[in-house]
Structure 1
Amino acid sequence: MFVRTESFPQFLRLYPIISLIVLIHIVLYLVSSLPIFPQRWVFEQLAGINLFIKEGEWWRLVTPIFVHLGFAHLLFNSFSLVLFGPPLEKYLGKVRFILLYLASGIFANIITYLIKPLTYSHVGASGAIFGLFGFYIAMILMKKAFITRESRQVILPIVVIGVVMTFMQSGINITAHLFGLLGGFIIGWISGKK
């Protein structure tokens, strides 16, 4: 389930939403690296800066999901999406997958806005990715046939490690990770009841 065996063209054809999200990640990262822009221009325009959100820049609840600071941040979040997203894009379909992804990320960003001080700023897809993890957990609890035993043995430790690492690393938006996970779980729980 989590092993990717497709060629690059096959992956693009089978998982267009994930491919598009990763492309957006890469383009924004490259634009932020171009010398024609001030170094932090992308961050300043698209980051979730609580003070600017309060002043009416509501797009900042969405745009941080696609912006990353540093290549390692970009690589980790994009790799996680490529690894754990395809089974859900296939299961949910394009529209419901993007709704899950965006709803989890936006929910995480809204709670970050409500809980963190006005001076707080954040970027990254991890709230949305933790939403995917939350959806998996809900499906494991609600629909055992959704995921094989072997795949459960992969996803459950990854989620536990992800949550533990959230508290062990500096500079992590703990709120986004936890509430992205919760948002995805709630969406999965509702889906599992249907």
Structure 2
Amino acid sequence: MFIRNEKSVKDFIRLYPVVSTLIIIHFVLWIIIDLLKLPIGESIYNYGAGVNLFIHAGEYWRLITPIFLHANLMHTLFNSFSLLIFGPALEQMLGKGKFIFAYFFAGIVGNIATYAFHPTAFMVFVGASGAIYGLFGIYMFMVLFRKHLVDRSDAQIVIVIFVIGLIMTFLQPNINIHAHVFGFIAGFALGPIILNNVRPYSPWRTYVEPKREDIGFDPNRWQKKHIIPAKIRRNWIWIILGILVILGLLSRIGLF
């Protein structure tokens, strides 16, 4: 479910347009705001960041816009990398419409919770973490109540993600706990609604049936790169998870 089989970036964008667009938006905004430090970038951040006091004054768009913004490069990388790994399977399973709804519903619920607990505080928050935790919530619902949609090894990965995410949420400083917790709850609550009549994820969507005339003896077949066994490929998920955790820890202690 979390192994990518696409042959190119073009294939990935074609198959997962919503995930691709969100990631592109993350990095375009980071370039404008942080890398180039353009005046328009400063305006985007100032008017888009979640600020509870301003939301309390009626600027309700700040419950949505923080989902697109991030505090720095590591924050952008961490959330975009998470979306890159865990978003495609759900986008295929749910379809673009349901995926967009679930993603932003979880993100908005997380931001509403952030505001509700400190409505008049000058508290600034940005990031797609609440929306991404909503995706984790959907996956956890699969593991518990829609077991036919996720195999055993992928279920183990989801559980490990949940445990690591829970630990980091409560132990790391400067984490928006409310967005994480309530984004996850929102995703989990959506599970029984959006997972009805959903088929399991298929990693072979990019496979093209060879034409009849293409089938024949290939004298160079042994010189071609062999397909990596699924068991070995799956180990890369654990490596990636480790990288995500390390990046998150380093960014929180100020090394990036």
- Give 1:167's aligned residue: 170
Question: What is the aligned counterpart of 2:158 among 155, 159, 162?
Answer: 155
- Contact 1:142/1:193 (8 A) holds in 2: no
- Give 1:29's aligned residue: 30
Q: CA deviation at 1:36?
A: 3.2
For the pair 1:190 / 2:193, whether they are aligned, the reply is: yes
Once residues 88 and 192 of structure 1 are traced to their aligned partners in structure 2, the CA distance between those partners, rounded to angstroms, is 10
- Give 1:125's aligned residue: 128
Q: CA deviation at 1:167?
A: 1.1
TM-score (ref. length: structure 1): 0.95
| DSSP 3-state at the match of 2:39 | coil
Once residues 116 and 154 of structure 1 are traced to their aligned partners in structure 2, the CA distance between those partners, rounded to angstroms, is 34
Task: Go from structure 1 to structure 2 and tell me whether the alpha carbon gap of 1:30 and 1:63 turns closer, same or farther (over 3 Å shift).
Answer: same
TM-score (ref. length: structure 2): 0.73
Task: Go from structure 1 to structure 2 and tell me whether the alpha carbon gap of 1:35 and 1:66 turns closer, same or farther (over 3 Å shift).
Answer: closer
- Give 1:181's aligned residue: 184
- Give 1:8's aligned residue: 9
Q: Which amino acid in the other structure matches residue 116 of structure 1?
A: H
**Larger Cα Rg: Structure 1 or Structure 2?**
2
Q: CA deviation at 1:69?
A: 0.9
Segment drifting more, 160-169 vs 101-110: 160-169
Q: CA deviation at 1:164?
A: 0.7
Q: CA deviation at 1:169?
A: 1.1
Q: CA deviation at 1:5?
A: 2.4
- Contact 2:107/2:128 (8 A) holds in 1: yes
Once residues 159 and 132 of structure 2 are traced to their aligned partners in structure 1, the CA distance between those partners, rounded to angstroms, is 14
Q: CA deviation at 1:193?
A: 6.2
Once residues 38 and 92 of structure 1 are traced to their aligned partners in structure 2, the CA distance between those partners, rounded to angstroms, is 35
Q: Which has the higher helix share?
A: 1
Q: CA deviation at 1:187?
A: 0.3
Q: CA deviation at 1:43?
A: 2.5
Once residues 149 and 176 of structure 2 are traced to their aligned partners in structure 1, the CA distance between those partners, rounded to angstroms, is 30
Q: CA deviation at 1:41?
A: 3.5
Q: Kindly tell me the number of residue pairs found equivalent between the two proteins.
A: 194
- Gaps spanning 5+ residues in structure 1: where? none
- Give 2:65's aligned residue: 63
- Gaps spanning 5+ residues in structure 2: where? 198-256
